[in-house]
Amino acid sequence: MLSKIIRYLNRVLKNIEKKNKALTLKKEREDFIKNGYIPWSKGYYEFKTEAITKNICDNDLFELLNNNKVPEVFGYRLDERVIEYPWIFSKLFKKEGKVLDAGSTFNFDYIINHPILANKDLTIFTFAPEANNFCHKKISYVFGDLRNMIFKDNVFDFVVSQSTIEHIDMDNSMYGYELSFNKDNTCKSYEYIIAVKEMIRVLKSKGTLLLTFPFGKFENHGFFQQFDTEMLNKILGLFENKGNHSITFFQYKNDSWNFAKINEVSESESFNPHTGKGKKDDFAAHSRAIACVEFNKN
C-alpha cells in the first residue's frame, strides 16, 4: 500500500514539474519576443524550436520551397536551421526506406515523431552517445567517424547530413570531443571530402543524399569552417558519373531567409556567436548563407 502511495506521489510531482517547466519555457519565449528577438538571448532556442516544429509540418511551405519561393519575412532573426529542416523534409518522400542521419541533427523528439519518418527505418550516426535517446522508438544509433563508417555499400535510401561536414577536422572540444584537428586557421581542411565519399558509398542506387553547409567566402571559426566556391566544387566533383545533382542557396538578408544565386552569396560572412566575429547590425544569428545540395545516385 505504501509503495502505491509513493508511486502516485512521484507521478504527481513529475506532472507538477512538467507543468512548471512548460510555464517557464512559455515565459522565456514571450520575453524573447518582448525584448526584440535578439539571437541567442533567453528564449531563443525555445522560439526557434517552435518555429521549426511548425515549419516541418507545413505542406504549403513545402510546396513553396519546391517552387523556389518562401513566405514573406521567413525566419526572422533565426539561424539557418529554420530553413534547412523544411528544405530537407520537403525532399524526404513519403515512400518507405532506410534513412541515415549523418551527424545527428534528427535526434530531437519533434523530428523523430514527424509523420514523414513514421514509415522509415532511421539510423543516427554520431561520434558519441547523446542525452537524447529514442531507442524505444526503434531508432538505431551508431557511433563513429563519418570518414570511416562501418556500413556496407548501398545500404540507405536517404542520407541526410545537415550542417555537419563543416565541423570535420575542426576543434570540436566545445561538444566534448577530444580529437586531433586542423589548427591552422588560415588553412582549409579537405577532410570533409572523405566523409562525403563515404555518404555516397553507403547510398543505394536511386537513393538521395541531402547535404547542407554554411557558404560564402572561406572562414575558419575554429569549431567550423565556412565553405567557398572552390570547396563546394570539390564536393560536386565527387558526383561526376555517379548521378545527378542540384544546388539551392539560401541567404539571410533584410530580416528574412530567401532563395539566392551563387554570385549573391559568394562573399557572405558568418556570425560566430561564441566569439562575436562577423557580428553586424542585421541580427543574423549564425550563417548568412547556406548551400543545400541534393544528389541522386545512378
Q: Convert the pLDDT of each residue in 91-141 to its tens digit.
A: 997 788 999 999 999 999 999 999 999 999 999 999 888 999 999 999 999
Please check whether residues 278 and 130 belong to one and the same domain: yes
**In angstroms, rounded to a whole number, what is the distance separating the alpha carbons of residues 124 and 129?**
10
Query: Domain check: are 63 and 47 in the same one?
Result: no
**Do residues 218 and 234 make contact, with C-beta atoms less than 8 angstroms apart?**
no
Q: How far apart are CA 137 and CA 188, in angstroms?
A: 39
Q: How many domains does the chain have?
A: 2
CATH number of 190's domain: 3.40.50.150
104 and 196 part of one domain: yes
Question: Are both 216 and 268 inside the same structural domain?
Answer: yes
State the Cα–Cα distance between residues 161 and 172, nearest whole angstrom. 17
Same domain flag for 141 and 83 = yes
Q: 147: which DSSP letter?
A: G
Query: Residue 213 in contact with residue 165, Cβ under 8 Å?
Result: yes
CA distances from 295 to 39, 205, 209, 216, 244 (A): 32, 11, 5, 21, 6
Res 145 pLDDT > 90: yes
Note whether residue 184 is domain-resident.
Answer: yes
C-alpha to C-alpha distance for 243 and 157, rounded to whole angstroms: 14
Are 117 and 208 in the same domain?
yes
Q: Which domain holds residue 250?
A: 59-297
Tell whether 114 is covered by a domain. yes
pTM to 2 decimal places: 0.91
Last residue of a domain, one of 8, 31, 55: 55
In a domain, 1, yes or no: no
**Any residues with CB less than 8 A from the CB of 255 and at least 6 apart, and which?**
73, 76, 77, 282, 283
Q: What are the pLDDT digits (tens) for 157-170?
A: 999 999 999 999 98
